[in-house]
């Protein structure tokens, strides 16, 4: 399947979800230049691989996690090819037990459904209940890629814009970790 890299928001927004359009509004208001590719739902590594090749950027794993009591929530960004080990992250965060948060909390806090987790969902966390956690390999990349809160499109923009414009506007200062996946 051929995917086309487009610049900016879709010209025809018919059928696009409000939460996706809010992402474009957010990036446009910040003056972030971005490219977009539309694609089938990114539910398999095959589709993700094709998206990676089209975007020419590292697409992160975006893991929505919580503590045992489901009172503390974390959004972890790490490279798609890096293995996630709960124990390694728990140790670096000083949290006894981490697990995947449920779809209900994902929807409530980020207005996102499973398969569409994105750092841009943090704009919906007005109460700042989710802590952003970024692996060093993501932080040091030249470009950043993510979904616009829906898994049928993916965006790419510069890491400089991510650090200098997007993160400050999201209001979720990140905790930096260095995960080995080993």
The whole-number pLDDT of residue 132 equals 97
CA distance 56 to 107: 29
Q: What's the Cα-to-Cα distance from 26 to each of 40, 42, 70, rounded to whole Å? A: 24, 23, 29
Cβ proximity of 143 and 158 under 8 Å = yes
Phi and psi torsions of 169, nearest 5°: -70, -30
The whole-number pLDDT of residue 1 equals 57
Q: Distance between alpha carbon 28 and the CA centroid of its chain, in Å?
A: 18
CB under 8 Å, gap of 24 or more: what pairs does 113-117 form? 115/41, 115/42, 115/43, 115/151, 116/147, 116/149, 116/150, 116/151, 117/62, 117/63, 117/64, 117/75, 117/147
Q: Point out the residues of the chain with pLDDT beneath 70.
A: 1, 43-47
CA distance 60 to 137: 10
Phi and psi torsions of 75, nearest 5°: -115, 110
Write the Ramachandran bin of 94: left for phi over 0, alpha for psi from -120 to 50, otherwise beta. Answer: left
The whole-number pLDDT of residue 25 equals 97
CATH topology of domain 5-177: YbaK protein (3.90.960)
Q: What is the DSSP string of 62-92?
A: EEEEEETTS-SEEEEEEETTSPP-HHHHHHH
CA distance 5 to 51: 10
Cβ proximity of 60 and 141 under 8 Å = no
Q: What is the DSSP string of 21-58?
A: HHHHHHHHHHT---EEEE-S---SHHHHHHHHHHHTSP
The whole-number pLDDT of residue 56 equals 85
The whole-number pLDDT of residue 162 equals 95
Centre a 10 Å sphere on the Cβ of residue 182 and count the other Cβ atoms it contains.
7
């Amino acid at each position: 399947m051929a995917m086309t890299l487009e610049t900016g928001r879709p010209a025809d927004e018919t059928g696009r979800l409000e939460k996706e359009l809010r992402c474009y509004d957010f990036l446009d208001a910040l003056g972030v230049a971005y490219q977009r590719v539309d694609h089938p739902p990114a539910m398999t590594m095959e589709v993700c691989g094709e998206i990676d090749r089209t975007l020419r950027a590292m697409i992160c794993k975006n893991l929505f996690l919580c503590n045992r009591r489901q009172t503390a929530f974390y959004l972890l960004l790490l490279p798609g090819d890096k293995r996630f080990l709960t124990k390694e992250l728990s140790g670096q965060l000083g949290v006894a037990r981490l697990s995947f948060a449920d779809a209900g909390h994902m929807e409530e806090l980020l207005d996102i459904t499973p398969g569409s987790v994105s750092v841009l969902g943090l704009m919906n966390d007005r109460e700042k209940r989710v802590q952003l956690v970024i692996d060093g390999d993501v932080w040091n990349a030249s470009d950043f890629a993510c979904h616009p809160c829906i898994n049928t499109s993916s965006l790419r923009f510069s890491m400089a814009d991510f650090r200098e414009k997007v993160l400050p506007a999201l209001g979720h200062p990140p905790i930096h970790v260095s995960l080995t996946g080993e």
